[in-house]
Structure formats: C-alpha cells, structure tokens
C-alpha cells in the first residue's frame, strides 16, 4: 500500500474529474489497462478502496505521477472528488493484467466508450511511443454527448485516425461508438489486426456480437465492483469459457481487467 499526495483533482464536467497523484519512485511502471485501488487517507471516507484505471503514468527522478480520469458514480468516487491538492491517498497497485501488445498484429483499432477513454488513452500513447512506421492505429471515442467527450487533448495529437460518435450527435456522428466499427474494420486483415476496447458492459456486449462473425480478435477491459483488488475476496467474478468451452469464473481484478472478448460469457451479463 502506497501513500500518495494529490497534485491536482480538477473538474472536467459536472461528474467528470481528472486527478494526479504523486507517489514514491518505488511504484512499479504500470502497463496500459492496469488499475489501482485508491481511497482517501483521512477518516470518514469509504471503508473499501475504489478501483480506478490508470490514465497516464510519468516517471521522474525521485517520484512518479499517476493520473486518473473518473466519474462520480457513488459515495466512494464522490469522496475522492472532494479531495483538495496535497490531500493524502492510499494506493494499492499497479494491479491486474493489462492489454497485450502483439507485434504480429500491427493494425490496431482502439474503442473507448465513456470513461473507457482513460485506459484507451494510456494504451494509445504507449503505442505511439513504441511502434514502427508501418504500424497503424485507429481510435474511436464515444459518449452520451460532447460534454462527456473528455481527455481529447491527449489523443488529438497522436498519429492515427480519430473518429467520434455521440448519442445525441453533438460531436462526431450520431450514434454509438460501436456504430463506427464497420468503417474502421473495412478491408482490414483479421490476422494482422487487434481491437482494444473499454467502456460500459452494454457497449462491449454489442462489440462481441459484431465481431463474432469477423474473426478479428479483441481485448476488452471490463469493470466490476471489487473489495480487495488482489483476487482474494472473489467479489468481482466474471463468467468465462475455459479452454474446453466449459463455463468457469475469473476475477476481474487479477485475471483481468483485460480479457479476450470471446472468453467472456456475454449471455451471463
């Protein structure tokens, strides 16, 4: 468990915040898709920490900075949203299994719905720094309306195609982020492509149905309530197919949060 200090915790909208936490240099480098369990140090806060996906990571000489994008969805995140700069937080992490980057699949399509933009941005910036020129990246963002399309400045400058969809059509095309997929995948070679997605379960379920006939592999980062973050409480179980096709359970915190889309039993959700 690390003790961190908030450097900023800015409101980006009525419910959306962008927070940065300074941590000791011993904090391990996270990979995109990993998360932390976080809670305020001062009492009166929630009992359990809350899982937050990592948005950005920066290593300095004597410290590291972790950034998060989050939305107030309940008491835990509400209390986090009230923390002023210099407030202390307890952080456990980095946790979980992040996105796998396969060299043999240089055509990458990234889809983010709502707060899914946080890990997808981390991944996009990570890929930007790594890939050779022949590698290709397309990014699709989706949200309810333009006010909820957040963190654009971190994505705009990246090499690669960017497309946006909003439910009300206030930015980009009207519709869901998954509606952008047919255009994005047109003509792509399923053997050289990998889709990465994070967003609400309904979006990911739609994606699973869309992709099933195409043969294009996809990694999804999913969300579930969790207590421990380390695979002990079994609170965040998700039904998956094992190698023999039988249904079993995995822990989102430890086995995930990133899973192959085809492994998840979407009919159980």
Partner 1 sequence: MTKQKNHDKEGKLAVEIGTLKLKNPVMTASGTFGYGEEYAPYVDLNRLGAIIVKGLSLKPRLGNPSPRIMETPAGMLNAIGLQNVGVKSFIRDKLPYLRQFDTAIIANVYGETIDEYLRVSDILTAAAGVHALEINVSCPNVKKGGVAFGTDPDMVAEVTAGVKGVTGLPVIVKLSPNVTDIAVMAKAAEKAGADAVSLINTITGMSVDVEKRMPHLKNVTGGLSGPAIKPIALRMVWQVATQVRIPVIGLGGIMSAADALEFFIVGARAIQVGTANFVEPQATMSIIEGIEAYMKKHHIVDMDALVGSLRV
Q: Using CB under 8 A as the criterion, which residues of the chain lie in contact with partner 1 when the complex forms?
A: 1, 46-49, 75-76, 90, 92, 224-228, 230-239, 247-249, 254, 268
H or E, element range at 203: helix 201-211
DSSP 8-state symbol, 96: S
Compare residues 65 and 92 and give the one whose CB is closer to partner 1.
92
CA neighbours within 13 Å on the CB side: how many for 103?
2
Cβ-based nearer residue to partner 1, 100 or 225? 225
Q: What angle is formed at CA 27 by the lines to CA 254 and CA 53, rounded to 5 degrees?
A: 45
Q: CB 107 → partner 1: shortest distance, Å?
A: 33
Which among 44, 175, 200, 188 has a CA at the least distance from the CA of 112?
200
Question: What is the C-alpha separation between 236 and 163, in angstroms, rounded?
Answer: 32
Query: Which position has the token pair 């397309």?
Result: 138
We find the least distance from the C-beta atom of residue 48 to partner 1, in angstroms, to be 5
Considering the complex, state which of residue 124 and residue 236 has its C-beta at the smaller distance from partner 1. 236
81 vs 170 by CB, closer to partner 1: 81
DSSP structure class, residue 212: T
* Residue number with CB closer to partner 1 (10 or 248): 248
Strand pairing category for 16-24 and 63-71:
antiparallel
């Amino acid at each position: 468990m690390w003790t961190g200090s908030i450097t900023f915790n800015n409101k980006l909208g009525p419910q959306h915040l962008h927070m940065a936490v300074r941590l000791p240099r011993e904090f391990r480098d996270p990979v995109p898709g990993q998360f932390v369990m976080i809670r305020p140090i001062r009492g009166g806060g929630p009992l359990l920490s809350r899982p937050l996906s990592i948005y950005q990571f920066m290593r300095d000489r004597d410290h590291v900075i972790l950034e998060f994008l989050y939305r107030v969805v309940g008491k835990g995140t509400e209390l986090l949203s009230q923390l002023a700069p210099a407030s202390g937080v307890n952080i456990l992490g980095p946790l979980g299994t992040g996105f796998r980057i396969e060299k043999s699949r240089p055509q990458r399509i990234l889809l983010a719905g709502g707060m899914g933009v946080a890990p997808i941005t981390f991944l996009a910036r990570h890929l930007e720094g790594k890939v050779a020129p022949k590698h290709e990246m397309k990014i699709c963002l989706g949200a309810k309306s333009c006010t909820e399309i957040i963190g654009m400045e971190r994505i705009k400058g990246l090499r690669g195609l960017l497309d946006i969809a909003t439910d009300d059509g206030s930015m980009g095309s009207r519709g869901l982020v998954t509606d952008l997929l047919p255009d994005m995948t047109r003509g792509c070679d399923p053997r050289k492509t990998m889709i990465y997605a994070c967003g609400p379960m309904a979006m990911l379920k739609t994606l699973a149905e869309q992709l099933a006939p195409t043969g294009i592999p996809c990694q999804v980062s999913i969300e579930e309530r969790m207590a421990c973050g380390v695979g002990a409480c079994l609170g965040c179980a998700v039904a998956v197919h094992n190698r023999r096709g039988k249904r079993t359970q995995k822990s989102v915190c430890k086995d995930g949060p990133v899973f192959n889309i085809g492994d998840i039993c979407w009919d159980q959700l």
